[in-house]
Structure 1
Amino acid sequence: MDGNDERPSPTTVMVVDDVAANRYAMGAVLRRAGHRVVPVASGGEALVELDARLHDGALPDVALVDVGLPDMSGFELCRRVRARPCTADLPVVHFSATAIGTRERCMGLDAGGDAYLTVPAEPQEIQAVVRAAVRGARRRGDFEVLAHRLTLLSEAIVTVQAARCPRELADAAAEGAARLTGTDAVVFVLGPDGEMDSGTSRSRLAMPDAGAHEAVAGLITRIAKGRTGVHSTVVPAPLWPAGFFGAGRQDDARLVLAFTQEGRTPVCVATPARRTPLDDASLFRLAQATAFAAEPLFMYRAERHIALTLQRSFLPEPERLPRLPGVDLVVRYVPASRETEIGGDFYAALRTPSGFLTAVGDVVGHSLEAATVMVEIRHGLRAYCVEDGDPRVLAERLDRMLQHYHPDVTATVCLVLADPGTGRARIADAGHIPPLIVREDGAADYVRVRGPLLGLGLDRPEPTEVTLAPADRLLMVTDGLIETRGVDLAVSMDQLRTAAGAAPPGLDPLCDTLLDRFGQEQEDDIAMLALRLG
């Protein structure tokens, strides 16, 4: 052998041959080369031996199989080994003491064999064939492990990129890190204003208290100062708060910190150092993908804060609503429970020359633009109703305003002009859920009114006229109250009608009952207005 040849590494070789002398001779060659040998005399014995070793977690590294076995051919044994998932990757080398041709060699390869030996053979050839078969199997195994890790990494990055808020992002990254490392993982996402969101893998039941999180935030801030890119470090157990990797447990923590290009949003993936390789490239890539995904989420969080501030500043508080004799009025506004939703929902209550005007509407879409357009619609409504409070006229003017200033935006609105003296109400609808009238006896029905969305420039029907009794309650809501993904809106509207009819008397109890029933963890904003005349 020349000096560049690989030194044979100790492996376990199963030799399957029905002739004892042949088993001994082959075994002697292999043992001299430093291999462990498992001799068996038939195909059946080989399968039993493989089962036993599989149970003990000690499969051989390669099998040398005689073609002419007494109970089955070596080709058939190879096919059976390949057919079992637990032994399918075992390298098989066929051998024969008789002269064989191309046909037999092809049969061996077709059965799944890795090589073919003609014996007797030189010891160097036997050893080289064994080494080659084992090396090929290990490389295949390495490739499979790599492919599996890349699959896990890809799945984790897809989940990270689908996160809708920083907390969801941290949870998704922690779960991905745990799957990659096979251990507990905690992820911290530090926002530009110092706020920190943390997530943990599902195997964890609880997280340490706020003090531990503050300590980690300070530690990450110190390590991150002036850095960009991806860095790895180990924090000794005395400096790492206990409990993140198990209740009451304190471990050295292996941290992978990733930063965006500007270094504004550091992400820290933390795992127990004793169970995580220092150079795990997949964790580096996951941390970096998490940092890139965090930037737009924090920008959206800031945008949502602006939008909510805008909405709340322009939606009057209940105590600031106009008061009019003969009109009782209650309003509710609930922002979406999801951080990624910014709605354009609104309500309005205004005095006009021809009566008391109420409106509930929703700008289509979820963005800062939707919130700003909502403000424009409310201002437009306030301006237009000074001259004419007719619901159809107001809807037409709002429609033209949207077409002129926001041609790509549509909105829904329901407008009710009520006369407290007579109880008469004129109602116009633009693609919105119609008002619900709840009678004193508990009967509840939607007003039959409809019309096209604002912003489409379509003709509008005449308003619908109804007369409200003194005990009647008129309810106007946005679809955020009842809209549920996968449920037909007509079904949800019918559930709302039933619940409203069963609500206790009064406007406040009506609104509170419906919010308790439908308004928990909704994905859209909720605006609600209830009035009673008399």
Structure 2
Amino acid sequence: MNRVDPDAPARILVVDDTEANRYITGGWLRRAGHEVLEAATGRAALDTVRDEVVDLVILDVNLPDMSGFDVCEVLKGDAATAAIPVVHVSASHVEAGDRATGLTRGADAYLSEPIDPGELQATVKAALRYYRARAAAENLAGRLSRLTEAGLEINTARTFPALLAAAVRGATAVLGQPVTVLVVLPSGAHLWGCGEGPDRPVTTRAEHPDPLVPQWRATPGPPRSALDPTNTVQLVTFTDPGEQWPAAEVTAAVVHTDPEQPATCVALPAAAVTTGEERDLLIQLGQTTAVAARGLLAYTDEHDIALSLQRSLLPSRLPVVPGLTMAARYVPASSVAQVGGDFYEVTELDTGVLVAIGDVTGHSIEAATVMGEVRHALRAYAIEGHTPTEIIALLNAMVCRFHPTGLTTLCLILLDLAAETATIANAGHIPPLLIDDEHAAYLPLPGAILGIEVPRPEATTIAFPKGSTIVLMTDGLVERRAVPLDDDLETLRASMDPGEQPEAVCRRLLATFGRDKDDDIALVVLRRT
């Protein structure tokens, strides 16, 4: 909505049961440039205000069907018409008490007939100025409130599609126009977010288009961002910008958060950006979107580095062991620009097959680094011939000394295929799930997480005959906000089929439990054959 000139002509309803009075009053108003509507009764006045756009009502007190005081009360009592200024006029109700009654019951001014044309014009102008200023202030307050809400949604977006959608929704809500948002990544990919208007769906897409626009002209804008002095922001009008944009000519806030990086644009039809208020709001939205995009890029870069590090520290392949079928998966978090410390390990030893799964607390490169150290130390201790109980104790000492804040959960299994046994030591991790022909059950194994100096129980040895399956997982697979972990663990347990092969188990569990998770997932399935 554009700001209205406080002295601009208005649409005025003149309500009087005397045609001559309507004619005279209407003539004065028309000569001042106003558009005049007429009504002879109170009911006709209420119907007109309900059906037509009316900026001001000049209302006679004496009407044939109802009092002008009553008409005014109805108008002021309805939220849809309460903001319309009402000027009472009367030739008979001219006493101070009459004026007090009219003003008390909602009128904005009270004139006694005969009316002086100059006084009428001045009263109309004053009433319109007041209500237009109030409407403009309320509109700006609403826009600023929506701008704050938009900024919150933009800055909490965890992916670029979510960021674009938030920016489009926010800009559309603030400016009330179709909006297009463009974020250009360092790779050259152009990410577009488009909206057709309030309460309409947002579409996003990525492409590698030709140069942004064939022609453009710059209009004056502040050289530096108010949010960050290192940013530059400019209002630019693009002519014939292409089909991605909402109009043949658009005005965009073009923001550079880094001289070496491409700009972020928030654009809408040029005809919708006509006031300083609208330009300021567009610049604020552009700055907020660009700063959020820069932060998300930084998180994405860290995520890529940490993910590469984490994948390099995980087994490149599982060993081929006669009598044992295995499958494993590592899935990074899908909705956060960070990486966790989930890991697994499968190593052949002289004493059997060592299988481990664990999770370092936190989401960062540091968590991935601690994970790598734990995994390498675990393999070294295992090769030295230590038992699962001893490996847990040695790893705990290492974490306590070198990574006191890197608390780690770990489940360690040594499989003796000849003896058909599995020796298990657990350190605060989700217990392994054992499936055989008769039932599927979690093995309740005690043990505190690594990084805490407390007494630890001995490892537990169980039977692991042919046809048995063990499932190891990290909590990212089953944990959901607002849902007890035990409930999801029970749902997973009840879904197990004794004859299902490890690869099929991994595919099914990830499809059923692992979609759109905000935590990493590690999963290992072992089947004795």
- Structure 2 contact 183–293 (Cα < 8 Å) conserved: yes
The one-letter code matched in structure 2 to 1:122 is: D
- Count how many residue pairs are aligned between Structure 1 and Structure 2: 510
> Quick check: 1:306 aligned with 2:302?
no
Task: Check the 8 A contact 2:339/2:363 in 1, yes or no.
Answer: yes
Query: Using a 3 Å threshold, how does the CA distance of structure 1 residues 462 and 62 change in structure 2: closer, same or farther?
Result: same
| One-letter amino acid of the structure 1 residue matched with residue 109 of structure 2 | A
Asked whether the 8 Å contact 1:426–1:465 carries over to 2, the reply is yes
Question: How far apart in 1 are the matches of 2:37 and 2:343?
Answer: 80
- State the 1:146 CA deviation: 1.9
Q: Structure 1: how far apart are the matches of 2:98 and 2:308?
A: 81
Contact 1:341 1:524 in 2 (8 A): no
Q: Give 1:479's match in structure 2, choosing from 462, 470, 475.
A: 475
The equivalent residue for 2:486 is 490
Say which is worse superposed, 299-308 or 168-177, in terms of deviation. 168-177
Given the two structures, how large is their TM-score scaled by the length of structure 1?
A: 0.85
Report 1:328-367 matches (<5 A): 328-352=325-349, 354-367=351-364
CA contact (8 A) 1:153 1:286 kept: yes
Q: Give the CA deviation at 1:401.
A: 2.3
Match of 1:197 in 2: 191
Q: CA deviation at 1:357?
A: 2.0
Secondary structure of the equivalent of 1:377? helix
Contact 2:191–2:207 (CA under 8 A) maintained in structure 1: no
The aligned amino acid for 1:178 is T
| Alpha-carbon displacement from aligned partner over 1:28-57 (angstroms, at most 9, x marks no partner) | 5445545444443332232133234x2xxx
Deviations 1:203-226 (A, max 9, x none): 468678835x35439999x99xx9
Aligned residue number for residue 531 of structure 1: 526
Q: Deviations over 1:471-528 (max 9, x none)?
A: 21111111222223333211211222122226x5432233233233333333322211
Q: What is the letter of the counterpart of residue 516 of structure 1?
A: A
Matching residue of 1:161 = 155
The residue number in structure 2 matching 1:64 is 58
Is the deviation greater in 522-531 or in 10-19? 10-19
Whole-angstrom distance in 2 between the partners of 1:129 and 1:166: 54
Cα distance in 2, alignment partners of residues 77 and 278 from structure 1: 37
| Residue number among 232, 237, 252 corresponding to 2:235 in the alignment | 232
Q: Distance in 1 between matches of 2:464 and 2:213?
A: 59
Report the Cα distance in structure 1 between the residues aligned to 2:159 and 2:59, rounded to whole angstroms: 59
Using the TM superposition, give the Cα deviation of residue 121 of structure 1 relative to its aligned residue in structure 2, in angstroms.
3.7
- Residue 461 of structure 2 is matched in structure 1 by 465
SS for the counterpart of 1:358 is strand
Corresponding residue of 1:3: none
After TM superposition, the structure 1 = structure 2 runs for residues 443-454 of structure 1, keeping only pairs within 5 Å, are 443-454=439-450
Q: Residue 388 of structure 1: CA displacement?
A: 4.8
Quote how far apart the aligned CAs of 1:149 are. Answer: 2.3
In structure 2, the partner of 1:114 is: 108
Richer in helix (by share): 1
- What per-residue deviation string (whole Å, max 9, x for no partner) do you get for residues 339-374 of structure 1? 524111100123456543211011122111111111
The farther-off stretch of 153-162 and 15-24 is 15-24
Kindly indicate whether the alpha-carbon contact (under 8 Å) linking 1:360 and 1:527 is maintained by their aligned counterparts in 2.
Answer: yes
Could you say if the C-alpha distance between residues 442 and 260 of structure 1 is closer, same or farther in structure 2, counting changes exceeding 3 Å? farther
2:522 is the counterpart of 1:519: no
Distance 1:175 1:406, change over 3 A: same
Task: Compute the TM-score of the two structures, normalised by the length of structure 2.
Answer: 0.86
C-alpha RMSD of the superposition: 3.2
Q: Which amino acid aligns with 2:353?
A: F
The one-character-per-residue Cα deviations of 1:5-36 (angstroms, maximum 9, x if unpaired) are x9975434333334555545544544554544
More strand by share: 2
Q: Which residue matches 1:127?
A: 121
Q: For residues 452 and 7 of structure 1, what CA distance do their matches in structure 2 show?
A: 72
What's the counterpart of residue 295 of structure 2?
Answer: 296
Long gaps (5+) in structure 2: 225-230
Residue 375 of structure 1, aligned match among 362, 365, 372:
372
| Separation in structure 2 between the aligned mates of residue 510 and residue 168 of structure 1, nearest angstrom | 32
* AA partner of residue 132 (structure 1): A
Matched position secondary structure for 1:481: coil
